[in-house]
Structure 1
Amino acid sequence: MTQSSFVPVFDGHNDVLLRLRRGGSNPVNAFLQGEDAGHIDLPRARRGGLAGGLCAIFIPSSDQPRPENVDFVTPAQPDALNETLAMARLLFDIEAQSDGAVKVCRSAADIRSSIAEGRFAAVFHIEGVEAIGADLDALYVLHQAGLRSLGPVWSRSNVFAHGVPFRFNSTPDIGAGLTDAGKDLIRACNELKVMIDLSHMNEKGFWDIAKLSNAPLVASHSNAHTLCPHSRNLTDKQLDAIGESNGLVGINFGVLFLRDDGVKNADTPLEILVRHVAYIAERIGIDHVALGSDFDGTTIPQALGDAAGLPKLIDALRTHGFDDQAIAKIAHENWVRVLEQTWGG
């Protein structure tokens, strides 16, 4: 690992809040002081150059641990709202007790200043908005609390849309498009300038959002379907639409979404991850590819290990031929640009 490998990374997706929520009695301390679990805490983030990212609030289905290739039961809305509020409070408690080391960012300027000052730049994101009812009241309240990004669905249906199930050797063209409530949600997100995350969205829902939304199209943690034919990945046509909207794709580190054989094998070389970066950069441009690790939410290559291993990925990108300018765009600049365009500053 070279000194030049230490590049600030702003990451499009992690599930650290859920891991902490399910963990021990002092989750705030576990994040701030570090622990021998999962992929992210503040000490490992600092060692690896992880400068921040979208911190997802995800409500598991009642049938956890979740098996593959199953349509999951949607949590009840009151339970989902209570859990969402609990994890949001955990994020705010981490910020409050961090002595300035963590900032919940509500603007691109917040992210830029946090990176420059060495703070962990956390963005309040919801993955699967079962906490929000069709009346959208909770959306407006959560936005006031700091919500700046959401994925309408995880890989299950709700009142807004249909998530794509986990299926290998399958297209994402599974299920119907947005409901009427879902169309209202997209319009409201545009009004509030909340980023809409297309990861986990099925193909018909993707195209409905592409027609309705006036914001850049973003898939925070998805890969190239051409290289790995998993239903969670993006077809070339979807990639083209993202590029044409001036949006981006955050590359998912999960081996299930990287490998062409669909096997959950942590012994997956980083070069396979880099191959997805290179494919998307070549197809739609270097300005439209970034990182969306899915740390604490999936099995990642053991060669990377956890957030402290990010310089190994930077080395792998450099070995592939990406220069310093391209690496800076992939690592953080593209995310900040798209969020600024979406949020309006």
Structure 2
Amino acid sequence: MPASSMPAPRVPVFDGHNDSLLRLLLSGHPSPEEGFLAGERLCHLDLPRARAGGFVGGLFAIYVPDPSGAGVEADALMTRPRYDVPLPPALDPGYARDATLAMLAILLRLERASEGALAVCRSVPDIEAAMARGAVAMVAHLEGAEAIDPDLRTLEVLHAAGLRSLGPVWSRPTIFGEGVPFRFPSGPDIGRGLTPAGEALVRACNRLRIMIDLSHLNERGFWDVARLSRAPLVATHSNAHAICPHARNLTDAQLAAIGESRGMVGLNFATSFIRPDGRRDAATPLSMMVDHIDHLVARVGIDGVGLGSDFDGATMPDAIGDARGLPNLVAALAERGYAGEALEKICWRNWLRVLDATWRA
């Protein structure tokens, strides 16, 4: 665990985003579920690390990787002062559905194999019950809707299997819209807005009470969702563009709209979205993360800010490392003056509020 001399308040953390299912899928482990439960260093997040770091639950992303391996040079490019990472093309729908079902199956097998230590949750009462008995609450989230057909039949099936949150796009085009590239410096006003299929997807998510994640959506798509959706606006793992002018981060106008909708932003721990220089660098101090929290609270409000780590999907600051390092961030927030109810809101209560507002709307 990263060393820290800071006294960390013991506050539970509900997290808006991790990519551990993808890491398990690609691990080559003969039983990735057993590896996760045993803490075999397959992921930033596993059951022992969750317990050590106070991680009580979160949104477990299903992200479909590009089968060609395109974009593997991204890590090197993102260490430069300026970059524009080439993005992979749209995915084959059949491949996307197969990969999506494979990761959803891992999630369900994790629950079964854990003998009560992990719980797939479909409602806030499910999450609260898991927390009360010391289980880790897992919410199924689709990061990029490539697996969903234009008639939305797959959406109905995935919802029945437990899907409760989705992003219409990752940072590549889908039939629903376009995402933002990994580009620095850049604003998010890139590309067209939602397609007619994307507008139908928003309406269907409202009907099924599936949360819509705006994190990878471009600015025109963001405003389309804001116009169409009846639910709070949510970005599960995004930061403040005013501090780090990366295409993936949110402008003050977007943050204000999220606040007006009583929505939510989860702080992304990825160093390239934190640092003012936009660089992928693990030597990123916790103070930079708290600077983003301060800005988000000022623009969205204390009721609309949480954590969205991106564990297993990004380079973490050395001061956090993996889920065991979460108390270090909690301590840094406390040192900046966040305490009591405000600290609990950022660490977990705000997520439960916005999920409840979305799922019961």
- Same fold by TM (over 0.5)? yes
**1:31 paired to 2:62:** no
Partners of 1:169 and 1:112 lie apart in 2 by 41
For 1:314, give the aligned amino acid. Answer: V
Aligned with residue 77 of structure 1, among 93, 107, 112: 93
Q: Which residue in 2 is equivalent to 1:225?
A: 241
Could you tell me how far 1:167 is from its partner in structure 2? 0.4
For 2:234, give the aligned amino acid. Answer: V
Q: Which residue in 1 is equivalent to 2:78?
A: none
Contact kept? 2:263, 2:354, Cα under 8 Å: yes
Could you tell me how far 1:4 is from its partner in structure 2? 5.6
For 2:107, give the aligned amino acid. Answer: L
Q: For 1:158-169, what aligned pairs fall within 5 Å after superposition?
A: 158-169=174-185
**1:60 paired to 2:76:** no
Could you tell me how far 1:115 is from its partner in structure 2? 1.2
For 1:80, give the aligned amino acid. Answer: A
For 1:183, give the aligned amino acid. Answer: E
**1:18 paired to 2:34:** no
Q: For 1:64-213, what aligned pairs fall within 5 Å after superposition?
A: 64=69, 66=71, 67-68=73-74, 69-213=85-229
Q: In the comparison of the two structures, how many residue pairs are matched?
A: 345
Could you tell me how far 1:216 is from its partner in structure 2? 0.1
Runs of 4+ in 1 over 6 A off after TM superposition: none
Q: Which residue in 2 is equivalent to 1:43?
A: 48
Contact kept? 1:32, 1:41, Cα under 8 Å: yes
Contact kept? 2:59, 2:140, Cα under 8 Å: yes
For 2:216, give the aligned amino acid. Answer: H
Q: Which residue in 1 is equivalent to 2:282?
A: 266
Structure 2: runs of 5+ lacking an equivalent:
75-84
Q: Deviations over 1:202-226 (max 9, x none)?
A: 0000000000000000000000000
For 1:53, give the aligned amino acid. Answer: G
Q: Which residue in 2 is equivalent to 1:7?
A: 11
CA-atom RMSD in angstroms: 1.1
SS in 2 for 1:312: helix
With normalisation by structure 2, the TM-score equals: 0.94
Q: Which residue in 2 is equivalent to 1:343?
A: 359
Partners of 2:41 and 2:59 lie apart in 1 by 22
For 2:13, give the aligned amino acid. Answer: V
SS in 1 for 2:97: helix
Partners of 1:122 and 1:93 lie apart in 2 by 12
Structure 1: runs of 5+ lacking an equivalent:
none
With normalisation by structure 1, the TM-score equals: 0.98
Contact kept? 1:8, 1:115, Cα under 8 Å: no
C-alpha distance 151-312 of structure 1, shift in aligned 2 (>3 A): same
Partners of 1:305 and 1:65 lie apart in 2 by 26
Q: Which residue in 2 is equivalent to 1:296?
A: 312
For 1:40, give the aligned amino acid. Answer: L
Contact kept? 1:11, 1:293, Cα under 8 Å: yes
Q: Which residue in 1 is equivalent to 2:260?
A: 244
Partners of 1:233 and 1:86 lie apart in 2 by 30
Identity of aligned residues (%): 55
**1:322 paired to 2:326:** no
